[in-house]
């Protein structure tokens, strides 16, 4: 996070509170949120990681 050209810890900043979302926008927001959550929930986080061949070569070269 950058402030006045310097990198700062965003957790240490006192930022203003955002405006609340308008009630009429909530149904649309929830629809998009739920569809994205379905996609994320469908990802199998137990599947093996696939590494591109060029990266695999680098990993093998740098392995002890």
Using one digit for the tens of pLDDT, what is the confidence trace for 16-33?
A: 999 999 999 999 999 999
Say yes or no to pLDDT of 43 above 90. no
* Per-residue b or e along 25-63, where b marks 16 or more CB atoms closer than 10 Å to that residue's CB: eeeeeeeeeeeeeeeeeeeeeeeeeeeeeeeeeeeeeee
> What confidence category does residue 57 fall into, taking pLDDT thresholds of 50, 70 and 90?
low
- Alpha-helical segments (H) within the chain: 26-41, 53-62
On whether the pTM is more than 0.75, the answer is: no
């Amino acid at each position: 996070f950058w402030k006045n050209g310097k990198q700062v810890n965003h957790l240490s900043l006192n930022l203003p509170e955002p405006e609340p979302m308008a009630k009429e926008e909530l149904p649309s927001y929830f629809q998009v949120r739920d569809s994205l959550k379905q996609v994320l929930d469908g990802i199998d986080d137990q599947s093996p990681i696939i590494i591109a061949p060029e990266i695999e070569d680098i990993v093998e070269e740098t392995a002890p």
